[in-house]
Amino acid sequence: VLQNLSQTPVLREMLKEAKMPGTTIKIESPELCMLCCFFFKQEPQLIKLDQPGPLTLAMHQFVTEMQETKKGVVTPKELFAQVCKKAIRFKGYQQQDSHELLRYLLDGMRAEE
C-alpha cells in the first residue's frame, strides 16, 4: 500500500505543498479533466492548506525517502507510529489487512486538514 501511494503523482505533489501552510493547490487530472469539463463543466478543485498534522508530515517524510534513489531500505517507523496513534488496532504488530491501513491512513490525513 505504501509503495503504491508513494508512486501516486497527485499525492506526492500535494504532500510537497502541504509542507507550506497557507498554500492553495489546484487538483486536476488531465485525463478526467477533459471528460469532466466537456460533460459536466466542472472546474479544477482549489484547496487551501492549513498547518499539516503529524500524520501528514510523517507521510511526507516517508514519500520523500521513497523517492530518494540513493537511499537503501526505507522503514516507515514514524509513519507507522502516527497511524497507531489514530488507529490503536495497529499496535502490537499483528497482521492487518492492507485496505484497513489505507483507509485509516487516508482518513487520518483527511481529518488533519
Q: Is residue 98 in some structural domain? A: yes
57 in any annotated domain = yes
Cα Rg of the chain, angstroms: 16
Q: How confident is the model at residue 98 (pLDDT cuts 50, 70, 90)?
A: confident
Cβ neighbors of 31 (< 8 A, separation 6 or more) are none
Question: 35-52 pLDDT, tens per residue?
Answer: 555 555 556 666 666 678
Question: 30 lies in a domain?
Answer: no
Residue 42 lies in a domain: no
Would you place residue 26 in the very low, low, confident or very high pLDDT band (cuts 50, 70, 90)?
low
* Percentage above 70 pLDDT, the chain: 66
Question: Is 39 part of a structural domain of the chain?
Answer: no
C-alpha cell at 39: 460533460
Convert the pLDDT of each residue in 67-90 to its tens digit: 886 767 888 899 989 988 888 777
Q: Is position 84 within any domain?
A: yes
Flag whether 15 is in a domain.
Answer: yes
**What domain range includes position 86?**
1-21+51-111
For residue 46, being part of any structural domain is answered with no
Angle 9-18/54-67 helices, nearest 10 degrees?
120
Indicate the number of domains in the chain.
1
